[in-house]
């Protein structure tokens, strides 16, 4: 399979603080990769490097077989940041408008969307099973529904690679499962390559094809069988933990099949 991401000998510092040293990995077309690691080990920093928002101190990044410095085809890459939608319940836009707004580069600023843009928007909402909610104000939807709309907003531009930063933080266990199922379906049915930062190692391991672990400045690939109980406890996110405690979800890791 062609390589979508190639990272070689990559080091990065925030100021004088080293984040990681000489890490390397590649992601092939069709992979579904989880990036795990303790708090502050540099997972979000790595995504920002892949998005060209930060420049490596040392090392190379290639995207779709092109050096990142030459790479211009950014619409091929969809990015869902942490806590995708944060405005209050009164935010004056419907789910459909939120998704359609991300087509601005195709529609053109100050122009009206055409039929094809409306159809694309509808298809993206269908992909995430939110077509029935297209006319609802985004702030009136549940956290999980808002997250699906934000995912549709990314998918509407037909990305080939999807980068997600902790998409399961702060949502209930049922929503987490249905989001993973959705991502897994998109990966299998459309061939979308997915790289997802997550603290939810136990559940994610059921769905992803590969697990990369950032720890103490190094990056290692783990076999799923290596994601044992000890690792689950080491990487579980306090926010996820609190959430599950509140919900009385005693099954943490129990459906991980590992």
Ligand X SMILES: Nc1ncnc2c1ncn2[C@@H]1O[C@H](COP(=O)(O)OP(=O)(O)OP(=O)(O)O)[C@@H](O)[C@H]1O
Secondary structure class of 38 (helix, strand, coil): coil
Closer residue to ligand X (CB): 103 or 197? 197
Least separation in angstroms between residue 88's CB and ligand X is 24
Closer residue to ligand X (CB): 28 or 169? 169
User: Each residue of 6-35: b (16+ CB within 10 Å) or e?
Assistant: bbeebebeeeeeebbbebebebeebbbbbb
Rounded Cα–Cα distance for residues 84 and 149 (Å): 9
Closer residue to ligand X (CB): 83 or 258? 83
Residue that has been written with the tokens 């933990």 in this structure:
241
Secondary structure class of 115 (helix, strand, coil): helix
Rounded Cα–Cα distance for residues 205 and 36 (Å): 10
Query: Where does this chain bind ligand X (CB under 6 A)?
Result: 14-15, 19, 37, 39-45
Least separation in angstroms between residue 35's CB and ligand X is 9
Structure tokens at 85: 């939608």
Least separation in angstroms between residue 43's CB and ligand X is 4
Closer residue to ligand X (CB): 100 or 235? 235
Closer residue to ligand X (CB): 53 or 158? 53
Rounded Cα–Cα distance for residues 186 and 74 (Å): 20
Rounded Cα–Cα distance for residues 159 and 77 (Å): 5
Least separation in angstroms between residue 39's CB and ligand X is 4
Least separation in angstroms between residue 45's CB and ligand X is 3
């Amino acid at each position: 399979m062609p390589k979508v991401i190639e990272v070689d000998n990559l080091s990065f510092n925030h100021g004088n603080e080293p984040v990681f040293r000489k890490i390397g990995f590649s992601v092939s077309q069709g992979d579904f990769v989880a990036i795990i690691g303790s708090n502050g080990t540099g997972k979000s920093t790595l995504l920002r490097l892949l998005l060209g928002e930060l420049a490596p101190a040392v090392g190379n990044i290639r995207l779709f077989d092109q050096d990142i410095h030459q790479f211009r085809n950014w619409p091929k890459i969809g990015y869902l940041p942490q806590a995708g939608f944060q405005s209050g319940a009164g935010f004056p836009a419907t789910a459909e408008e939120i998704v359609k707004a991300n087509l601005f580069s195709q529609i053109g600023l100050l122009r009206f969307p055409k039929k094809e843009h409306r159809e694309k928007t509808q298809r993206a909402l269908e992909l995430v099973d939110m077509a029935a909610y297209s006319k609802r104000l985004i702030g009136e939807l549940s956290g999980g529904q808002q997250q699906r709309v934000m995912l549709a907003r990314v998918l509407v531009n037909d990305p080939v690679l999807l980068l997600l930063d902790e998409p399961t933080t702060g949502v209930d266990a049922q929503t987490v499962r249905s989001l993973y199922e959705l991502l897994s379906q998109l990966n299998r049915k459309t061939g979308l390559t997915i790289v997802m930062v997550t603290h939810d190692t136990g559940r994610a391991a059921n769905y992803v094809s590969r697990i990369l672990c950032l720890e103490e400045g190094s990056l290692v690939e783990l076999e799923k069988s290596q994601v044992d109980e000890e690792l689950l406890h080491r990487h579980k996110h306090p926010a996820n933990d609190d959430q599950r405690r509140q919900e009385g979800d005693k099954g943490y890791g129990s459906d991980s099949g590992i």
